[in-house]
Amino acid sequence: MLLIASLVLLGTQLMVNGERHSLIYTYSALSKPVDLPGIHEFTAMGLLDDRPIDYYDSETKVKVPKQPWMKERLKQDYWDKGTQSRRSKQQWFKVNIDILMKRMRQNDTDVHVLQWMHGCEGDVQPDGSLKFVNGMDMYNYDGDDFLSFDDANGVWIASVEAALPTKRKWDGVQVLKEYTQGYLESECVKWLKEFMECRQQQLKEVCKYDKK
């Protein structure tokens, strides 16, 4: 009973053959600050199996762990590099919201939102390895689908006319398509497996402690 309670409290899972797991990163940027508690001009969050594992916002400007095992297992260098990456993405979003507003002939009276979600899903194999199943890389603007990457065919899909210039530009950059596919199918899966192992290792230690 104590072991079951520990599993629930930690939100951990054993790696069982056939199980599907996911690692997703979400980013959200506003065209200008809003005076509302808890709403930031830019936020970024990592999700392992739909549970937050890291977080960054434009107020604190530091990437921080959201799970104890993330804090305990990953070195400070990981968080320092992650913070720099999030700060760079914050600037990228600011520039691109301005571009989209001008493209759509929008003024700065209203608040506009640009969101990005990317990540992967993998199935646990009999030998314990993780097999890539799905990859996702998609953008949303003001609540509507904007642009997404077709991983199977290696092309960008424009959901609205305003996204066509970006689609044409990005489709013309072969290295970008190769990088996106490589991240989704390889690097993302590698991090997914590593995070799952870190989480499972903590579970083993808790189980060992519970048996004493």
Q: Is residue 201 part of a domain?
A: no
Q: Is residue 175 part of a domain?
A: yes
What are φ and ψ of residue 75, in 5° steps? -70, 160
Which whole number is the average pLDDT over 190-209? 77
Provide the b/e sequence for 14-25 (b: ≥16 CB within 10 Å). ebeeeeebbbbb
Contacts of 149 (CB under 8 A, 6+ apart): 135, 136, 137, 138, 155, 156, 157, 180, 184
Cβ(52)–Cβ(46) below 8 Å: yes
Token pair for 99: 């571009």
The tally of CA atoms less than 13 A away on the side-chain side of residue 20 is 7
Compute the CA torsion angle 17, 49, 158, 115 (nearest 10 deg): -170
User: With 50 as the cut, is the pLDDT of residue 193 above it?
Assistant: yes
Q: How confident is the model at residue 178 (pLDDT cuts 50, 70, 90)?
A: very high
- Of the candidates 82, 80, 72, the one whose C-alpha atom is nearest the C-alpha of residue 10 is 72
C-alpha to C-alpha distance for 61 and 178, rounded to whole angstroms: 30
pLDDT computed for residue 35 by the predictor? 87
pLDDT computed for residue 147 by the predictor? 98
CA angle 195, 198, 203 (to 5 degrees): 125
Cβ(147)–Cβ(157) below 8 Å: yes
Global pTM reads 0.87
pLDDT in tens, 46-101: 999 999 999 999 999 999 999 999 999 999 999 999 999 999 999 999 999 999 99
Q: How confident is the model at residue 201 (pLDDT cuts 50, 70, 90)?
A: confident
Q: How confident is the model at residue 12 (pLDDT cuts 50, 70, 90)?
A: very low
pLDDT computed for residue 206 by the predictor? 44
pLDDT computed for residue 16 by the predictor? 63
Q: Is residue 21 part of a domain?
A: yes
pLDDT in tens, 21-49: 999 999 999 999 998 888 999 999 999 99
pLDDT in tens, 137-163: 999 999 999 999 999 999 999 999 999
What's the structural domain count of the chain? 1
**CATH code for the domain of 24:** 3.30.500.10
In the three-class reduction of DSSP (H, G, I as helix; E, B as strand; rest coil), residue 166 is classed as helix
User: With 90 as the cut, is the pLDDT of residue 18 above it?
Assistant: no
Domain that holds residue 101: 16-195
Q: Is residue 93 part of a domain?
A: yes
